[in-house]
Chain A
């Protein structure tokens, strides 16, 4: 398996995704939002299709205290594995990784399993998302019921 593509290595992408996961698990959402390029597009089919503006709104809402579904906040823990570089072109890289996100709230545990497909570019001080996509393997959101945090 290729461990490099263009100017990118699996190691640095993996390190970046693990850092990103920590930001989300620790609800450092403004720092997380700063990892997006201005034209970022995030998409989960028929659940979420945020652009930069709605993503910024989502973060603002989650931090506001009136997003009742996340007040009090869930605990989450992200396991990210199987990082692969798919293609590099023109200074950007398409990478994929598997995820399992555990979420705990009111003594229920739910696990969200799927795959990320991201397009990353190098910014002035590190990697940034140009496209961020989380594709769930779940057939339905049962018994989860809701996806009120960022996957």
Chain B
């Protein structure tokens, strides 16, 4: 196989306004291996939310960045993230998706660990030599674990900067995402676990792609919204208000549009109005306007998406160049009424998830791209140049995707330190 020259995978000509990605990045196993080392293992990865492990002993298990993890809360209330493999001989220690326990016990040889990971029990341990080091045989924690407002991130890079430093300019947008209900948010029980037979980077693009919304999701706008009696013209028609796209630095990005009325009515609508009034009291009219009157798709590099229209958190990870696993949750304010929860929930599944009126068409589109990439040697480049060089690119442009690709490209070439993810200086100022 011809060797990959990472430098040649992207053409980024800011002067002429050309931005192309070589389709080999979607098909090549060698590139995926490099991504695991240079991108995923050098980033902060979203692992879960502290509300999922509310009480001491509560745990969830999941794969994050390719590793099996246990997220568990100890008796002092501190969250931990352990690699879910027995330090003795390797068996998966926790086999349930979620639960509550006093001891984490591996059934294979019955070694047991307390909630801080310490080795608490070894059957017949008098057979071991004096060199047997119990202290070194606890559950192995991930190298780094930090939370931001309940969102737990892990990193496999012990040297990585702090989470807050990593978030940079994206932090303000994350706050806007989490403040909408005037209360701290929690993960609603249940999740959507699905997959796509497509490269993971296609979902990065798709999750903040304003341009595809109208053609791909035509049926949602022209049929579903009409069928439930909504006026779709301010979503999709001539009254649609142009939004903006921003590169936030370090590969993070956001698209922002004026928020449209949610398909939420009745007493739930009154409750929404009260939440809005409380928000104004708490943070002032101007900031409440910033929080509540815009919809945003926020991308935290490399694989986390928050979408405000449906209050979802989505993360994904490649198992192969042409296959990714996707996990999505709903994050909603604590203390809402059942009625409002129910309405938000219906709104969520009307578009999102493997059976919604939106997501399946995205799955189908991305899988179609992946099938097309089998011709990457003949049709070698994807064009990501929409709106390149504009001082204020719109959400229909592709700056937000170029931001991702520029950071990705820098890491894949082994470049350390900050990456300039904008097309031009005006865009950098807009993001600060």
Enumerate chain B residues within 8 angstroms of A140, measured Cβ to Cβ: 193-195
> Is A75 engaged at the interface, CB distance under 8 Å to the other chain?
no
Does B85 belong to the interface (CB within 8 Å)? no
Q: Which single residue of chain B is at the shortest CB-CB distance from A68?
A: B361
Which of B323, B350, B363 gathers most chain A CB within 10 Å? Answer: B363
Q: Judge whether A141 and B354 touch: CB under 8 Å.
A: yes
Contact bitstring B354-373, A, C-beta under 8 A = 1, else 0: 11010111011101000100
Residues of B within 8 Å of A147, CB to CB, are: 354-355, 360
Asked whether A48 is an interface residue with its Cβ less than 8 Å from the other chain, the reply is yes
Beta-carbon contact of A106 and B219 below 8 Å: no
Q: How large is the interface on A (under 10, 10 to 19, 20 to 34, 35 or more residues)?
A: 20 to 34
Which interface residue of A64, A106, A140 has the most chain B CB atoms within 10 A? A140
A109: chain B residues at CB < 8 Å are none
> Interface readout for A117-149 with B: 1 if CB under 8 Å, 0 if not?
000000000000000000000011111111110
Residue in chain B with minimal CB distance to A56: B227
Report the interface size for chain B: residues with CB under 8 A from the other chain. Answer: 34
The reply to whether the CB of A9 lies closer than 8 angstroms to some CB of chain B is no
- Interchain nearest-CB distance for B232 vs A (Å): 13
- Establish whether residues A146 and B224, one from each chain, have CB atoms under 8 Å apart when the complex forms: no
Interface members, chain B 170-220 (any A CB < 8 Å): 190-197, 216, 218-219
B346 interfacial by beta-carbon distance below 8 Å: yes
Judge whether A67 is part of the interface by a CB distance below 8 angstroms: yes
Q: Is B196 within 8 A of A145, CB to CB? A: yes
Q: Is the CB of A64 within 8 A of B195?
A: no
> Are A142 and B193 in touch, CB under 8 angstroms?
yes
Are the C-beta atoms of A46 and B227 separated by less than 8 Å? Answer: no
Check B195 against A66 for contact (C-beta < 8 Å).
Answer: no
Q: Are A64 and B223 in contact (CB-based, < 8 A)?
A: yes
1/0 per residue, CB under 8 A from B, across A84-103: the answer is 00000000000000000000
CA distance A60 to B355 in the complex (A): 15
Contact across chains for B227 and A146 when beta carbons are under 8 A apart = no
Which 6 A-B pairs give the minimum distances between C-beta atoms? A57-B227, A140-B193, A69-B360, A148-B360, A147-B355, A146-B360
Which A residues have a C-beta under 8 Å from some C-beta of B?
Answer: 44-49, 53-54, 56-58, 60-61, 64, 66-69, 106, 108, 139-148
> Please, could you name 26 A-B residue pairs with CB atoms under 8 Å apart, sorted by A?
A46-B191, A46-B349, A46-B353, A47-B355, A49-B345, A49-B349, A54-B227, A54-B228, A57-B224, A57-B228, A58-B357, A61-B357, A64-B219, A66-B222, A67-B219, A68-B364, A108-B197, A141-B192, A141-B194, A142-B325, A145-B194, A145-B197, A145-B354, A146-B194, A146-B363, A148-B360
